[in-house]
Structure 1
Amino acid sequence: MSNALIDTAPDFSQPIAVLKHCHDRIRKQLQTLQNLLSHLPQHGADVDAQKAAQAVLKYFNHAAQLHHEDEEHNLLPMLQATARGADASLLAELVPAIMAGHKQMDTDWSIIKTQLEQIANGTSTVLSTSDVARFCDTYAAHMVMEETHIATMAKRLFSAEQMAQLGSAMQVRRGILPGLPRSQVPEQTTIAVNHAVADGVVLADLRLDYGRASLTEQDVLDDPIAQFGKWFEEALHAKVNEPNAMSVATVDADGKPSSRIVLIKQYDQRGFTWYTNYDSQKGQQLRANPHAALLFFWSELERQIRIEGKVVPTSAEESDKYFYSRPVKSQIAAIASRQSAPIASREQMEANYDAAAAASGEQPVRPAHWGGYRLDPVRIEFWQGRRSRFHDRIVYVKQADGSWVKERLQP
């Protein structure tokens, strides 16, 4: 009933091999299920039976679901974006069958799962032969179809870059920060400032093709704030570098724009909040024109979120609450700095800080020129990168009654 030998899985630089390895593990779990059918009548729900049931439950409750998501959200969409001619025709036939197979297996699993849970805790010896047979037969045929057609097509069509994208998406799904190859990390690429060829690459031709996920109208939630929260949680889980960093674009009284990166501190149905110096450049511009645009870009997930709306200062109570939650040195820095104003030297800045620290004592007081801004959104767009710049864009627009209408935009 148990296997003491631990087989070594391929790494995510070989994503198709990883998927095949998952199939092999599924076959082992299916064999354990079939072994249980003969074991239970003779030995009942003994320790071996309980351990076997627990192993099957653990695998199909978690690992098998990740495997299905790899296929549904990455492998199949990438193939559909790449395949042409006969390959595209074959995919049009196979993909609906694969999706229907996943749904059927989920339904069958929910039936077997209940039986296995009782076996796992030793309270039952009932495991339906017909339920197990249906589940095993469906999975077996499904895996053969995928290995015969889908895996071979992917190995034939995908470039090295696409394989890297698929592998890194699979890692992100498992909470692993992907180790992208050097060619996939734009900030590591050296480019000549005169736009000439550098290392064989022309600046205008430098691009990273996307293909980790797709975005449909059915994928997104009806409430854009809830959808933002869903994507933000996924960015945290994927260990995106500073997922709370956003660009804030403002316009001055003469219509000249500027932008900068700040850190979001709160989001809810009222809007998106950050804190700053009210006398800074952005503060002055927001007084002249209280409209702004926010942008989150999470390259690890090939996603961006664009948010537009009107900006208002937060209440003094809210500003106080956040100010006094900050480290004391950050509080002093907010007092000492006339943000965006010229200064002669770093030494002068340090002297200003020391003077503010001496004047503030043990408990600095929030200055009137420092506090929060909240953008009340009227337009929120979710962007998912796709192959050949044929991206997915879903936008929400707020209506006069406060409701949201969503629609797809062309890339």
Structure 2
Amino acid sequence: MTDSLLAPAPGFDQPIAMLKHCHDKIRKQLATLQKLLEHLPRHGADASAQQAAQAVQKYFNTAAHIHHADEEIDLLPMLDATATGADLETVRRLRPDILLQHKRMDDAWHIIDAQLDKISNGTGSELAPDAVNTFVQMYTAHMEIEEGHIAPMAKRLFNAHQMQVLGEAMQRRRGIAPAGGTSNDNTVGGIALADLRMDYGRASLSEEDTLGDPIAQFGKWFDEAMKAQVNEPNAMSVATVGSDGRPASRIVLIKQFDARGFTWYTNYDSQKGRQLAQNPHAALLFFWPELERQVRIEGRVERTSAEESDTYFYSRPVKSQLAAIASQQSAPIGSRGEMEENYAAVERANDPAAGSKPQRPAHWGGYRLVPERVEFWQGRASRFHDRIVYSLQADGSWTKGRIQP
């Protein structure tokens, strides 16, 4: 007998079936967990128990989180943006419960995971029946809700393009890049650049969806970008303008955001440092294509305190500290070899064996953009995007409103 009689696993071109396939895997792991509960009193943490514990841990510590992100970041927002009438009422009734269930299941899993750690390495054999049974019941009920309401609705409402968008998002979350082409003579995969476009349809954004404070709303979106495994969600474009009126932009990494603003670190003598000295205003841009989102932030820029700059500088790897000392950022240099020589000289001068360590140079430190305008942009179909803008008022409060795409 060949395995041709076995039903193949669905592909990412069938994202709803793929999500159901994930549920089947969850049920398999739950069954293993229950068998382990019966096995341990008789056999202890033997080789079979260790293998079973490791398999369950591997799934719920990795794959389950990815599956939850599929639902939280893609499936549910897409349904919210697509459904109408009774369907929309159902989505908005069930969505908060599903998200809360994810959190409660995660909390319950942490208790079991700690016990499985000891079973996995053979140092313990305790597995609490109440914790396991509660976890199994929670997951079983959760999957019944999704399979009874959410999955059938998605299959009924999503068009072919939305299914493709959902499937590709799931691929990227698992580190599998959708097939693409190469560019040549203004074409990509044989398509002229002028005709190269992707319609958006993953989510919507309304005034009611956003929080009252733009920093809190940014934190919410940033957390969702992290869960969606966006490629470098902390990367942002910083645009500055000097006294000559000519703009310049570059990508840097945000290191902190809070009620005071958005912070990054750099060389104060670099091009952006010189431009900010002449004109202390800048614009930041975060672009998260996996979520079809961007955030634009404009405001005045100030330097962080020396204490803050010290704290971050000394938290960096030593080699990064040395590089900050050795490089005169944006200044011309003859060759890579000269750069390497400069670095080597700094490294010799800061040899820990000689009792010395790098000191933060006065020309290196942080900038903080204090926001005055923040725009949240959510891609929508037919370029009819959602744009919600927050504006800072004279009394320190924020107003928000919609602007046209």
In the alignment, the residues of structure 2 paired with residue 141 and residue 364 of structure 1 have an alpha-carbon distance, to the nearest angstrom, of 58
- Give a deviation string over 1:349-408, Cα, whole Å, max 9, x none: 111112222233431111111111111011111111122211111111111111111111
In the alignment, the residues of structure 1 paired with residue 201 and residue 347 of structure 2 have an alpha-carbon distance, to the nearest angstrom, of 51
Structure 1 residue aligned with 2:94: 102
Query: Aligned AA for 2:346?
Result: A
Picking from 179, 183, 186, the partner of 1:182 is: 179
In the alignment, the residues of structure 2 paired with residue 336 and residue 206 of structure 1 have an alpha-carbon distance, to the nearest angstrom, of 43
Deviation at 1:191, TM superposition (A): 3.6
- Give a deviation string over 1:33-79, Cα, whole Å, max 9, x none: xxxxxxxxxxxxxx9xxxxxxxxxx9xxx9899769865411452xx
Q: 1:226 to 1:164 in 2, by over 3 A?
A: same
Structure 1 residue aligned with 2:224: 234
Structure 1 residue aligned with 2:166: 166
Deviation at 1:170, TM superposition (A): 5.4
User: Are residues 1:74 and 2:78 paired?
Assistant: yes
User: Are residues 1:282 and 2:272 paired?
Assistant: yes
In the alignment, the residues of structure 2 paired with residue 140 and residue 146 of structure 1 have an alpha-carbon distance, to the nearest angstrom, of 6
Query: Aligned AA for 1:74?
Result: M
Structure 2 residue aligned with 1:335: 325
Structure 2 residue aligned with 1:265: 255
In the alignment, the residues of structure 1 paired with residue 240 and residue 333 of structure 2 have an alpha-carbon distance, to the nearest angstrom, of 24
- Give a deviation string over 1:206-226, Cα, whole Å, max 9, x none: 112222222121222111111
Which structure 2 segments of 5+ residues have no match?
A: 1-5, 28-37, 39-59, 106-128, 132-140
In the alignment, the residues of structure 2 paired with residue 140 and residue 290 of structure 1 have an alpha-carbon distance, to the nearest angstrom, of 51
Q: 1:94 to 1:381 in 2, by over 3 A?
A: same
Q: 1:153 to 1:24 in 2, by over 3 A?
A: farther
- Give a deviation string over 1:219-263, Cα, whole Å, max 9, x none: 221111111111112212222111111110000101100000111
In the alignment, the residues of structure 1 paired with residue 68 and residue 360 of structure 2 have an alpha-carbon distance, to the nearest angstrom, of 53
- Contact kept in structure 2, 1:280 and 1:340, CA below 8 Å: yes
Instruction: Return 65-74 or 249-258, whichever deviates more.
Output: 65-74
Structure 2 residue aligned with 1:373: 367
In the alignment, the residues of structure 2 paired with residue 383 and residue 230 of structure 1 have an alpha-carbon distance, to the nearest angstrom, of 14
Picking from 295, 298, 302, the partner of 2:285 is: 295
- Give a deviation string over 1:99-123, Cα, whole Å, max 9, x none: 36638988xx9xxx9xxxxxx849x
Deviation at 1:316, TM superposition (A): 1.0
Instruction: Return 344-353 or 255-264, whichever deviates more.
Output: 344-353
What is the DSSP-based 3-state SS (H/G/I as helix, E as strand, rest coil) of the residue aligned with 1:214?
Answer: coil
In the alignment, the residues of structure 2 paired with residue 325 and residue 281 of structure 1 have an alpha-carbon distance, to the nearest angstrom, of 25
In the alignment, the residues of structure 1 paired with residue 310 and residue 95 of structure 2 have an alpha-carbon distance, to the nearest angstrom, of 51
What is the DSSP-based 3-state SS (H/G/I as helix, E as strand, rest coil) of the residue aligned with 2:269?
Answer: coil
Deviation at 1:279, TM superposition (A): 0.6
What is the DSSP-based 3-state SS (H/G/I as helix, E as strand, rest coil) of the residue aligned with 1:182?
Answer: coil
Scaled by the length of structure 1, what TM-score is found? 0.68
What is the DSSP-based 3-state SS (H/G/I as helix, E as strand, rest coil) of the residue aligned with 1:286?
Answer: helix
In the alignment, the residues of structure 1 paired with residue 273 and residue 381 of structure 2 have an alpha-carbon distance, to the nearest angstrom, of 39
Structure 1 vs Structure 2 CA RMSD: 4.1
Query: Aligned AA for 1:348?
Result: E
What is the DSSP-based 3-state SS (H/G/I as helix, E as strand, rest coil) of the residue aligned with 2:209?
Answer: coil
Structure 2 residue aligned with 1:129: none
Percent identical residues = 59
Q: 1:354 to 1:390 in 2, by over 3 A?
A: same
Query: Aligned AA for 1:177?
Result: R
Query: Aligned AA for 2:402?
Result: R
The within-5 A match list for 1:75-224 is: 75=79, 77=81, 80=82, 92-99=84-91, 102=94, 121=130, 143=149, 147=152, 151-152=155-156, 154=158, 157-159=159-161, 162-169=162-169, 176-177=173-174, 179-183=176-180, 189-192=182-185, 195=186, 197=187, 199-224=189-214
What is the DSSP-based 3-state SS (H/G/I as helix, E as strand, rest coil) of the residue aligned with 1:348?
Answer: helix
Scaled by the length of structure 2, what TM-score is found? 0.69
Which structure 1 segments of 5+ residues have no match?
A: 1-5, 29-46, 48-57, 81-90, 114-119, 123-134
- Contact kept in structure 1, 2:20 and 2:147, CA below 8 Å: no
User: Are residues 1:348 and 2:341 paired?
Assistant: no
Deviation at 1:94, TM superposition (A): 4.4
User: Are residues 1:398 and 2:392 paired?
Assistant: yes
User: Are residues 1:317 and 2:321 paired?
Assistant: no
Q: 1:67 to 1:308 in 2, by over 3 A?
A: closer
Q: 1:238 to 1:146 in 2, by over 3 A?
A: closer
What is the DSSP-based 3-state SS (H/G/I as helix, E as strand, rest coil) of the residue aligned with 2:190?
Answer: coil
